[in-house]
Amino acid sequence: MPELPEVEVSRLGISPHLQGQVLLKVVARQRQLRWWVPDQVVSQVNQPVMGVSRRAKYLLIALPQGEIILHLGMSGHLKMLPAAQAPLKHDHIDFVLGNGQCLRLNDTRRFGAVLWQARGDSHPLLANLGPEPLTDDFTVDTLLQACAKRSAAIKLVLMDNKVVVGVGNIYANEALFKAGINPLSPANNISKEKLRLLCTVVKETLAAAIVQGGTTLKDFSQADGKPGYFAQQLLVYGRAGQPCASCQQPLQEVRLGQRSTVFCRYCQPER
């Protein structure tokens, strides 16, 4: 599933093409995605696009009456192309622009979403999200407060969107390795200094992934079709059994929260 860097790269890719354009119409060839595409989306006609923003892993296309919410799900991706170009099998939604281009959502597995948020409202999916990791709202103090009364594994806490948004499986693995924290360690056992380091490396890892265009493992590509290159810099994720980059011992893999968790038991001793 695309994580925060991949969604931010998509935002950076499509924003210049949408900003200031007129959304002529929305063409929905398939409205049954993860949720039914609501009438408020498909009824948007001749509306100026005021901007494209991101909240967690959701893209928000701002229009005068509200915002179209896009989520890429597990296999969704966005493409900018001529509106007249024939759609492929899994090209489900077109946002047709006044300049003859369109933003097209392709989603093979249909786990993505296209939803609506009226101006002044907060959609239930966005209402209770935690701070953005790349802002000053995410600090060691907010992380310490979240961990203080939780004995769950630190990796699960780090991936909780009420604690901090957008730190998915790939980047949680990477950040915990760089901080020298065992992903299985109880959150309330980790010192403030270790959490301070974790907060720092989360920000650094996500920022570096955005610069590299995200991580292409299977389905993700940028809006221009190019892959993300951060996969070449992954230190632990997807490398179970391979030598640790620091100590050369084989990396371990366990399942945690039904997700692959890869770590080095020498560089990340459990506490």
Please spell the DSSP secondary structure of the chain, one letter per residue. ---HHHHHHHHHHHHHHHTT-EEEEEEES--BSSSBPPHHHHT--SEE--EEEEETTEEEEEETTEEEEEE-TTTEEEEEEETTSPP-TTEEEEEEETTSEEEEEEESS---EEEEEETT---HHHHT----TTSTTS-HHHHHHHHTT--SBHHHHHT-TTTSSS--HHHHHHHHHHHT--TTSBGGGS-HHHHHHHHHHHHHHHHHHHHTT-B-SSS---TTSPPPBGGGG-SSTT-TTSBPTTT-PBPEEEEETTEEEEE-TTTS---
CA 237 – CA 205 distance, rounded (Å) = 13
Please spell the DSSP secondary structure of 155-167, one letter per residue. HHHHT-TTTSSS-
How far lies 99's CA from each of 18, 81, 91, 144, 236, in Å?
10, 11, 20, 49, 44
Active site residues: 2-3, 57, 259
Contact in structure between 60 and 69 (CB atoms under 8 Å):
yes
**Of 256, 268, 257, which Cα lies nearest the Cα of 177?**
268
